Amino acid sequence: MKTINLVILFSGNGSNMQNIVETLRNKVFFNNLDLENKDEIEIAFPFCITNNPNAYGISRCKELGIECKVLSHKDFSGREEFDRALLKLIAGTQVELVILSGFMRVLSPIFTSNLKSINIHPSLLPKYKGIKAIQESYQSDDNHGGVSVHWVNDVLDGGEIILQDCIPKISGESLEGFQKRIHHLEYKLYPKAILKALNLTQSNTHG
C-alpha cells in the first residue's frame, strides 16, 4: 500500500479540516492516470498546522488523534520569515499536497514555489475574493452563491480553479442560513477536489 501524505493548514474553526480527515482517512484509492498500475493508495494526515494558538481546530485535531503544530505568524517580523519557518516545519516529511482550509494568510512565493497547495474559498471565484466572501455573495443580486477550490499561487484567492459548485439563493433566507448551506457545499466539494487534484479515485472494493 502506498501512502500519500497531506498536511492541512487552518486558522480558526477547522470544520473543513475535520471533514476532510473523516472523509478521506482509512479509505483505499488508486491513481486514475496510471491504469496499468493498480497499486492501492491510502491518504494520511501526519500533522496539521495552525497560525493561531487559539484556533478551535486544535481541539478537533486532538479528537481526531492528529498532531497540530502551532506556528504563530505574530512571532515573525515579516511574511517571508513566517513562510520560511512554515516550509521548514513541513520539509522533513514527504508531503504530496498542502491543503489550505480556512488558512487566512496569503503565502509568498517562498512557500508556493516549493510546495503544491490548494485552497477553498466560499464564493464562485473570481467573484468576492477576500474574507467577506459569504456576506458579499449573500448581499449581491446574484441568484446563487457558490464555493471554489483552486490551486494556490501568491495572489489572494487566485490560481487555477479545480472545482466549483453553486447553490440557489432562497428568498427571505437569513445570512446564517445561507452560510450554513455554503459550508455544507464546502464539505461535499473539498474532498472531491482533493481527489481530483491528486488524480485519485476511491476503490469500489475496499474501505
Residues designated catalytic = 121
Contact track, ligand GAR, 121-140, x by CB under 6 A: xx--------x-x-------
Q: Nearest to ligand GAR by Cβ — which residue? A: 102
As to burial, measured by CB atoms within 10 angstroms (0-12 exposed, 13-18 middle, 19+ buried), residue 21 is buried
* Sign of the C-alpha dihedral computed for residues 37, 43, 49 and 55 taken in this order: positive
Q: Verify binding: residue 120, ligand GAR, rule CB under 6 A.
A: yes
Helix (H) or strand (E) holding 22: helix 15-24
What is the Cα–Cα distance from 97 to 35, expressed in whole angstroms? 22
Size, binding site for ligand GAR by CB under 6 A = 15
3-class state of residue 165 by DSSP? strand
Residue 45 engages ligand GAR in binding (rule: CB under 6 A): no
Task: Considering only the stretches 87-95, 106-114, 116-124, 193-201, report the one whose residues sit in contact with ligand GAR under the rule CB under 6 A.
Answer: 116-124
Work out which of 101, 112, 117, 137 binds ligand GAR, going by CB under 6 A: 101
Q: Lay out the site mask for ligand GAR across 180-199 (x = CB under 6 A, - = otherwise).
A: ------x-------------
CA distance 52 to 130: 18
CB of 183 to ligand GAR, least distance (A): 6
Q: How far apart are CA 30 and CA 126, in angstroms?
A: 32
Contact set with ligand GAR (CB under 6 A): 10, 12-16, 101-102, 120-122, 131, 133, 157, 186
